[in-house]
Structure 1
Amino acid sequence: MKQIAIGPEKKLGSAVVQGCMRIADMSEEAVDHLIKTDLENGVTFFDHADVYTDGACEALFGKVLAKQPGLRDQITLQTKCGIVRGNGDHNKAFDFSKEHILETVNASLQRLQTDHLDYLLLHRPDALVEPEEVAAAFDALYDAGKVLHFGVSNQNPLQIELLKKSVRQPLEINQLQFSIMATGMIDAGINVNMTVEGANVRDGSILDYCRLHDITIQAWSPFQFGFFEGVFLDNPKFPELNKKIDEIATKYGVSNNAIAVAWILRHPAEMQVILGTTNLTRVVESAKGADVTLTRQEWYDIYQAAGNILP
């Protein structure tokens, strides 16, 4: 498995990350099997959030860790905080206050049955953020050895700069939606000085900003189109794209999942890819994408097959 040098400290992490958002309905035995399958295929990085099924995902994962004490040392464990859930799946608020961060991280540690997190990310921007509050929380967590590294999720350059005004720890990761069918981060850079729709910069050039500041991008929803509208692989809505992906998959002797992963990892930003699937076959197939290096022409062929036009 290809390793990614994360953040300015260049701590190594697997190029493919196991997202744990969908494990709540699994048995302990199934989660244990998932973790072991990940490790067997080089996936050592696991992503959580305190709001995933109201903490049930963390709690289930923690039960598996507790039964195998040596397992914690084999993995990199990450969670996110800052979203306040309302009824159902709707967000009630965002909260980056010191009190909320400390409370939710301590709860996550308890559920995960570990004494520390390798990474803590702030989950979506809080419009009422006070950087001094975040800094105080991060200092307390870092000094206590509860969190080793920090980052953000779905934030633009100026939001990160605002945090950096007070936060003394490096912000090493930014989770952002990116896939073959969600290419907003690169469209504007390709269409500089053009009048087409793709030329509009909507994210403050976050991709270039992260590369300039040694912030590792973690690409979420690598197989989705739109905002959780469905997968594009094997979807009859996208015949040209799937034809091109299948053609390249055949060349490399891998699945279409692997090519979708390889397309993201081919970008020189050195991103990580977060898998949302818990299907063991798809996990194995997707992990193989880290060992495929697409040619420059193949990368652009896929980009254009997705409906993008080069100027």
Structure 2
Amino acid sequence: MTGPTGRTLPEVPGAGDNGRVVYGCMGLGGGWDETPYTAADIDHAQAAVEAALECGITTFDHADIYRFGKSEAVFGEVLSRAPGLRERIVLQTKCGIRLPQGDRPGRYDLRADTILRRVEESLTRLRTDVIDTLLLHRPDPLAAPEEIAKALHALHGQGLVRRFGVSNMSAAQIAHLQARLDVPLTVDQLEMSLARRDWVEAGVLVNTSAAAQCGFPAGTLEHCTDHDIELQAWGALARGRYTGDEPSPAGEVLQRLARRHDTTPETVLLWWIQRHPARVVPVVGTSRPDRIRACRDAVVREPGLGDEEWYELWIAARGAPLP
């Protein structure tokens, strides 16, 4: 693939090798409105994709609602500029959320006909014949699991989707849906970071008064690990909270650990997630090529944090001792 800079990008592994880090495409496509995307938006997306590929990232995460569909559309434009790239990456997208429109509020929608229609629309925008992994974006309280299963079986049977997963769902919700499916759920994508720590806190607050304030669904990490469901962490860079100009105790520890391990603070943030035995895969959502490249060591190196360093960073972010 040759980008606007004229550089030839390295070959990347074939589809199916998700690797250590996923690139989240929510920042691509222009504004959060229905204004058409521009040529500059396509170039911006291509620069981000190039940076991710240079780092060895080969899985690209989308959703039908990102930038009102423009994130998928500009990515499709990038694929059209790079013959052969589609066969060397993993395309993941989501459906299940309807954005507000006029007087109609935003809502969730996992009816079978909606799932089928949204997948067809994503395929068109992405300019591909198949989605490698489709995630159900949010639980829909009104959707019968049998109806969801009917849609997923149809998509799989037609060869339109290879694998399925969920996002923002608990172990109980996954098991409830899986019991009605003939295909395995392979991914659960949840907000997990050093700032959003309840996925770790839930495991140590058992039998404490603070447990009631921890909203992470108990047993979800264990369920996913036991059933070979890949945990993906969206918001993994904590929206720049610890790597920006705002000083904080955790940010200071982060900088010190980055210097010690000859890497970047962004990499240390991702290592902190990857170091967990649940083998969580971070989703990097920045659209800035320099920040994407700052995550490279999280792709090409083993998580470098020792136990003491991991706990030191956690406690600094907590701002209080462990219970």
For residue 104 of structure 1, the aligned residue among 104, 118, 125 is: 118
Equivalent residue in structure 2 for 1:66, among 73, 77, 80: 80
The alignment's TM-score, normalised by the length of structure 1, stands at 0.90
What are the superposed Cα offsets for residues 76-130 of structure 1, whole Å, 9 maximum, x if unpaired?
0000000011149x96211111100000000000010000011000001101121
- 2:19 counterpart residue number: 14
Deviates more, 1:70-79 or 1:20-29: 20-29
Q: Deviations over 1:197-226 (max 9, x none)?
A: 57856413211221122111110111227x
The correspondence for 1:281, drawn from 273, 277, 290, is: 290
Is the CA contact 1:134–1:167 (under 8 Å) kept in the aligned structure 2? no
- 2: CA distance between counterparts of 1:200 and 1:284? 33
Query: Which of the numbers 306, 315, 321 marks the counterpart of 1:295?
Result: 306
Are 1:241 and 2:250 an aligned pair?
yes
Residues 1:266 and 2:278 aligned together: no
Partners of 1:277 and 1:115 in 2: CA distance: 27
Compared CA separation, residues 198 and 93, structure 1 to 2 (3 A): closer
Q: 1:91 to 1:23 in 2, by over 3 A?
A: farther
User: What CA distance in whole angstroms lies between the structure 2 residues aligned with 1:300 and 1:198?
Assistant: 23
The list of structure 1 runs, each at least 4 consecutive aligned residues, that deviate by more than 6 angstroms after superposition, is: none
The Cα shift of 1:297 comes to 1.0
Structure having the higher strand fraction is 1
Q: Percent identity?
A: 36
1:12–1:91: structure 2 CA closer, same or farther, 3 Å change rule?
farther
The DSSP-based 3-state class of the residue aligned with 2:129 is: coil
Task: Provide the rounded CA distance (Å) in 1 between the counterparts of 2:244 and 2:75.
Answer: 31
Cα gap change, 1:286 to 1:132, in 2 (>3 Å): same
Q: Please tell me whether the aligned partners of residues 187 and 199 of structure 1 are also in contact (alpha carbons under 8 angstroms).
A: no
Partner of 1:168: 182
1:182 Cα deviation after fit:
0.8
Paired AA for residue 254 in structure 1: T
In structure 2, give the amino acid aligned to 1:52.
Y
**Aligned partner letter, 2:176:** L
- Aligned partner of 1:309 in structure 2 is 321
216-225 or 244-253, which moves further after superposition? 216-225
Q: Who is 1:193 aligned against?
A: 207
Stretches of structure 1 lacking an aligned partner (at least 5 in a row): 1-10
Match of 2:98 in 1: 84
Q: Is residue 232 of structure 1 aligned with residue 232 of structure 2?
A: no
Residues 240-290 of structure 1 show CA distances to partners (whole Å, capped at 9, x for unaligned) of 111111110000111111110111111111111111101111101112223
**What is the match of residue 142 of structure 1?**
156
The Cα offsets for residues 171-206 of structure 1, whole Å up to 9 and x where unpaired, read as 110110111111111112123322335785641321
CA distance in 2, matches of 1:161, 1:91: 30
User: Helix, strand or coil for the counterpart of 1:274?
Assistant: strand
Q: Decide which of 68, 80, 96 is 1:54's aligned counterpart.
A: 68
Q: Which amino acid counterpart does residue 179 of structure 2 have in structure 1? A: K
- Contact 2:29/2:42 (8 A) holds in 1: no
Corresponding residue number in structure 2 for 1:126:
140
- Scaled by the length of structure 2, the TM-score of the pair is 0.86
Say which SS state the counterpart of residue 13 (structure 1) adopts: coil
User: Is 2:264 aligned against 1:255?
Assistant: yes
The structure 2 residue matched to 1:181, chosen from 177, 195, 204, is 195
Name structure 2 gaps, 5 residues minimum: 1-15, 31-39
Aligned to 2:129: 115
| Residue of structure 1 equivalent to 2:29 | 24
1:5 maps to what in 2? none
Name the amino acid aligned to 2:313: I
Kindly report the root-mean-square deviation, in angstroms, between the aligned alpha carbons of the 2 structures: 2.1
